[in-house]
Structure 1
């Protein structure tokens, strides 16, 4: 995956004295709060076409023009009316045809966690995006999460059913949880806290 340049942390975003960035512009255009934005990719698209074979044509009024056309480019060059004139013109139209694909894959393969990627490319080989034929960005999974839960547990050994509310907090691979459950058999509430760590995440 291509590394994102000019990174700005969420802590820096909270600084009111920092200079404006593309993140601020995106938030304003999309009418979002800064905290809603996960990442911004600014694509610098460049087209380089050399030695295009021009066709000579004559307009209805008798002027000579030179044209070029392919599935992506339509161009027309009208030469100056004479050697001392500067009224020559070039009309140019380009259809960028940029494809964006979001997909997931496991890294490392088979046993790795699913990671989401954004792949940006064009079918036109003359076009580059941020200097590359294909530009791939890894989308970061949320680091934090908070869940309110209703838990029901059946103890196989005790053969008892427990149910009750709980709260769970996710941070990267850690999961902190606290819950209370009602022991139906013993007719009483019980409480528990715990920490989980993902050794392997699918």
Structure 2
């Protein structure tokens, strides 16, 4: 099984890239966001790989970081979501955006992905709700040459504070996400905790 590829970008087309590793070109399917972070032909690239083996094909799916890969794997557990649909969802929603959409039960955001109708979007946010807290939101293995996204400090601190008060991480994450939607991304840590408690009390 292939778990990671490090080489050079040979080409990017549609839903995949060809990564040249020592003269061997690997076809790697990836989300639009990951493909956009790869450089031009000849640029260094390093992708985490999820290898899928079937009787008629071996498919490689590439990810910019472990968080995106974890979301991909989690999405595959939702009935009706295959690898291509999972990548489609990750093409319109970065991992942190998908986490917020699931926590807020925002099926409209998920339905923006190609191949995802309202019913499937509802199933995704419903079945993924309890898994949000188990998937970290950090960037752990960025594509070579790409700058990692900044961690959302106050949000993570607020979630940790609520977890320390005895709430489940998924519940705390959902509450803080709803507060941020109402108050904006620049809400103070104290406000996130206080109003998060109010959300959890409802």
Per the shorter chain, which TM-score range?
under 0.3
Which protein has the bigger helix share?
2
Which one has the bigger strand percentage? 1
Greater relative CO, 1 or 2 (CA 8 Å, sep 6+): 2
TM-score, length-scaled by structure 2: 0.21
State the TM-score, normalizing by the size of structure 1: 0.21
> Which structure would you say has the larger Rg?
1
